Structure 1
Amino acid sequence: MNGRIAGVVILISAIIAGAGMYYLQVYGFYEAVYEEDVQLVSLTSEQPETIVFDNFQAIDAESSPIRYRACFTTTQSLAFLTESYVLVDDVDPRNAPNWFDCFDAAAIGAELEAGTALTFLGAKNIEFGVDRIVAITDDGRGYVWHELNDCGDKAYDGTIVGEECPGRPADASE
């Protein structure tokens, strides 16, 4: 009898722990972002510049620098944007939680592959080793996510970073 009680307690504890971890990963750490600009890096100044946008929705989490996702619309044409701002190649959108329904990574990836959307650099090193990527479709829908750059890939996989990467910012707790 004691074995059954212990087994049931362990089973219930595992179910509660699993449900808690699921909730924290999918819902718990994300917060809505309300005041944000949509920026692209200019070809001339090499600095981020705010573009015209509307219908902005975004989420972020402090637990990871790559959890940022945003959706917006813009009236600026792809022709104007490609002449004015830095394009990026070979990036795929990261998945967003299912409940953030304006950001569908598979659909965005299909548009990028079909050539009906282009990706731009929104900001370099928004955090150490992380760039902000902005994808804009030919009908004016836009999406934003964070992507590890070469320095971030090296820093997080344990490879020696090297001189071409900027120094890591000092930790505020030190």
Structure 2
Amino acid sequence: MNGKILASLIVASALVFGAVVYYAQVYGYYYQVTPTPGQDVQLVAVDSGEPEPIAYSDFQAIDADSSPIRYRACFTTSLSADDLARTYSELAGGEPRIAPGWFDCFDAEAIGQGIEAGEIRVFLAHKNIAYGVDRVVAIAPGGQGWAWEELNDCGRKAYDGTPVGEECPPRAEGGGS
């Protein structure tokens, strides 16, 4: 009898712990980003190397303080990817991170397939928005856009333990962004 009670407690504890971890990962850490009109969507200009705002609407975004790569955003723009490519830094590709299911405007799998097929174009939005992390923006032919953050070369080296070398900027004191 005592064994059944102990086993039941272990199973119940594991289920509660699993539910708490699931909630924390999918809901607990994320928050809605408060839009800053005219500043939420920026791309790095080829001539200056600095981020510049572009025209956009219908902006919504989520972020989390627990990781520098949890940012996801969706928006629309009246600008075409071809027009943007003449002025802003285009990237060869990108790997959108999976967003929580409740943030349904961001379908990382569909965005990734569009990038692979060459239908969706990817641009650099902000270099080193946090140490070793770049914000990228993807634009579809119909003007739908998405933004997320991904590790750059320095970030991949820093976070996998490889020596970063001289080509990477020094990390801020305290290890933060």
Do these two structures clear the TM 0.5 threshold for a shared fold by scoring above it?
Answer: yes
Provide the secondary structure at the position in 1 that maps to 2:17.
Answer: helix
Cα distance in 2, alignment partners of residues 135 and 90 from structure 1 = 9
Structure 2 residue 63 is the aligned partner of structure 1 residue 60: yes
Aligned to 1:120: 123
Structure 2 residue 52 is the aligned partner of structure 1 residue 49: yes
Structure 1 runs of 4+ with >2 Å offset: none
Question: Is the 2:93–2:115 Cα contact (8 Å) retained in structure 1?
Answer: no
Alpha-carbon RMSD across the aligned residues, in angstroms, is 1.3
Question: Is the 2:98–2:108 Cα contact (8 Å) retained in structure 1?
Answer: yes
- Identify the range of structure 1 (7-16 vs 146-155) with the bigger mean alpha-carbon deviation: 7-16
Cα distance in 1, alignment partners of residues 29 and 51 from structure 2 = 28
Q: TM-score, normalised by structure 1?
A: 0.96
Q: What do residues 91-137 of structure 1 show as CA deviations (whole Å, max 9, x unaligned)?
A: 22111111110000111112112222100000000000000010001
Aligned to 1:99: 102
Provide the secondary structure at the position in 1 that maps to 2:25.
Answer: helix
Question: Is the 2:35–2:60 Cα contact (8 Å) retained in structure 1?
Answer: no
Aligned to 1:2: 2
Q: Which amino acid aligns with 1:3?
A: G
Question: Is the 2:154–2:168 Cα contact (8 Å) retained in structure 1?
Answer: yes
Cα distance in 1, alignment partners of residues 13 and 95 from structure 2 = 38
Quote how far apart the aligned CAs of 1:172 are. Answer: 8.0
Unaligned runs of 5+ in 2: none
Q: TM-score, normalised by structure 2?
A: 0.94
Unaligned runs of 5+ in 1: none
Cα distance in 2, alignment partners of residues 30 and 172 from structure 1 = 22
Q: Specify which of 130, 152, 165 is matched with residue 168 of structure 2.
A: 165
Aligned residues: 173
